[in-house]
Amino acid sequence: MRRLPSVDVVVDPTGLVRAESGAIAGPIWLRDGDPDVQADFPEVGWVDLPVAVLASWVQELQRLTRALPSSGLQASCRFMDGPYYFTVRVESASGWVVRCFEARERPTVEASVHEWKTGSSAFMASAVRAGRAVLAQCDTRGWWSRDTEALRRCLESGSQYRSG
């Protein structure tokens, strides 16, 4: 059986900054791991709120891991900044389809930017690995908040997903 290319959640924990409001911003984006057509979404180095975003994404992806392949279950994962989001649909017992979108208000258009197939365990592990890296950096800097605790709870409830 041919191994599916991976789609990875990419973060740069060293690029995290904390606003006076306590919001933590930093680079986070998706990268298609197929070396022949590698693409990034929304773009390389996209700056968003990775702690809040990852807590939401990991929770949605954990829900998918419990779905039957025939369920057609889908998760919607949004970036906090900009009109960007992606959906993840269960395609098989070990495969997911990730579709990336840019939704503009005027005109009301929802354009699919990328569609990637990925191994479900590889994508889940990538999201968990990203969450742990961001959380470790926040812990090192003493940046604790409701968002960091929400991410911590999500990662602990999905402790069966290896980050390796």
Query: So what's the pLDDT on residue 107?
Result: 52
14 in a domain, yes or no?
Answer: yes
146 in a domain, yes or no?
Answer: yes
Alpha carbon distances (Å) from 128 to 58, 71, 159: 7, 24, 9
60 in a domain, yes or no?
Answer: yes
3-state secondary structure of 81: coil
Please check whether residue 11 is in contact with residue 130, taking contact to mean a CB–CB distance below 8 angstroms: yes
Query: So what's the pLDDT on residue 159?
Result: 55
Query: So what's the pLDDT on residue 1?
Result: 44
149 in a domain, yes or no?
Answer: yes
Query: So what's the pLDDT on residue 10?
Result: 97
Query: So what's the pLDDT on residue 109?
Result: 53
162 in a domain, yes or no?
Answer: no
Q: Which residues of the chain have pLDDT under 50?
A: 1, 162-164
164 in a domain, yes or no?
Answer: no
Alpha carbon distances (Å) from 129 to 71, 113, 161: 27, 25, 9
Structural domain count of the chain: 1
- Domain of 49, in residue numbers: 7-157
Which CATH number is 149's domain given?
A: 3.30.2450
Q: Within 10 Å of residue 117's Cβ, how many Cβ atoms? A: 16
Alpha carbon distances (Å) from 145 to 27, 135, 151: 19, 11, 10
91 in a domain, yes or no?
Answer: yes
93 in a domain, yes or no?
Answer: yes
